[in-house]
Amino acid sequence: MFTVFTKGAADGLQVVLKLLPTLCGLLCAVEMLKASGVLDFIATLLSPVTERIGIPADCLPLFLLRPFSGSASLALAGECIASSGADSLPGRIAAVLMASSETTFYTAAVYSAASGLKPARYTLFCALLGDLTAMLVSVQAVKWLFS
């Protein structure tokens, strides 16, 4: 039993070593996106359209970053809740979105690096469509339940 355990642990370490370059690159790219101000610029450009469909401007950076990074989107959700209030519409939408969506690019990078396969474009398209659906349903569910 111990031999099987140690073999599994050794195999797990090999997977970690294969994932490390992909994770480092993804985390670096997300930090550069946040630090450069591109995220805020895109949010400013999209805010007139998103306000019309009911997405608060406070939540827009979170919506844009959520598919890329869980920790960065958690920080943005915290900022949204701190600035708007926990019982506010943006705060509730941020909380629901964090619970109902996935870090799509991170997950695709991890699974493709672990399996050695490149993510199929249809898989990524469908996953991003699911993220978009989660974002829109989060807004509508919070408005329906709390308005």
pLDDT tens sequence across 6-40 = 998 888 888 778 778 877 887 788 778 878 988 88
Rounded to the nearest angstrom, the gap between the alpha carbon of residue 66 and the centroid of all alpha carbons in its chain is 2
Amino acid 119: pLDDT:
61
In the chain, where are the structural domains located? 2-146
Cβ contacts of 43 within 8 Å, gap of 6 or more: 57, 60, 61, 64
**Is-contact 66 73, C-beta < 8 A?**
yes
Residue length, the chain? 147
Q: What is the DSSP letter of 118?
A: P
User: pTM here?
Assistant: 0.74
Q: Kindly state the tokens that stand for 67.
A: 């598919």
Tens digit of each residue's pLDDT (9 = 90 or more) over 50-81: 888 888 888 888 898 898 888 788 888 998 99
Question: What is the distance between the alpha carbons of residues 28 and 91, in angstroms, rounded to a whole number?
Answer: 27
| Angle, alpha carbons 68-128-114 (nearest 5°) | 60
